């Protein structure tokens, strides 16, 4: 674990707890105390790594009895996960979020690793770097690929 930063360690811990349960409730302060870090570090990990793009839903309640509830999204079929990914793409999408979406598709066996690599190459900085509006172009390309996955032609 010496090459991992604190965010990676916290993420791994939360994911290990989520393997046992589909839903967990945590308190920022307790987790921060456990890892000897500030509660804002916990917020950062949850905000950046436990997103719908990554296959999670998060609810939080602030205050003395506050908690953060993290739920692993249950996917019934491929079209449901594709719809979930389409719903998080606005008119623009960052490269980071696009990568998370593609990784989520691969993790849920909607696409294979080769298809993921092709999708990555279509939305990365090498392909879109010269566009001033790269986040908008990336969103259009990613939405189109997702729709093609959802509505594959039957042979």
pLDDT digits (tens, 9 = 90+) for 99-143: 999 999 999 889 999 999 999 999 999 999 888 999 999 999 999
Residue 62 parent element (H or E): none
pLDDT of res. 64: 66
6-72 carries CATH number 3.30.56.130: yes
**Rg of the Cα trace of the chain?**
17
Q: Which CATH architecture has domain 78-150?
A: Orthogonal Bundle (1.10)
pLDDT digits (tens, 9 = 90+) for 55-101: 888 888 776 667 889 988 766 578 888 888 998 899 999 999 999 99
Over 80: is that where the pLDDT of 13 sits? yes
- Return the domain boundaries, the chain: 6-72, 78-150
The residue among 70, 65, 24 whose CA lies nearest residue 43 is 70
């Amino acid at each position: 674990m010496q090459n991992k930063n604190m965010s990676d360690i916290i993420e791994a811990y939360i994911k290990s707890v989520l393997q046992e349960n589909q839903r967990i409730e945590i308190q920022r302060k307790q987790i921060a105390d456990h890892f000897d870090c500030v509660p804002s570090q916990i917020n950062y990990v949850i905000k950046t790594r436990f997103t719908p793009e990554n296959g999670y839903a998060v609810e939080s309640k602030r205050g003395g009895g506050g908690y953060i509830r993290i739920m692993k999204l249950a996917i019934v079929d491929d079209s449901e996960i594709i719809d979930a990914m389409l719903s998080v793409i606005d008119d623009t999408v960052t490269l980071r979020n696009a990568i998370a979406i593609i990784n989520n598709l691969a993790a849920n066996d909607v696409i294979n690793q080769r298809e993921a690599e092709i999708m990555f190459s279509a939305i990365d900085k090498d392909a879109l770097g010269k566009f001033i509006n790269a986040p908008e172009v990336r969103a259009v390309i990613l939405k189109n690929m997702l729709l093609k996955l959802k509505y594959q032609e039957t042979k």
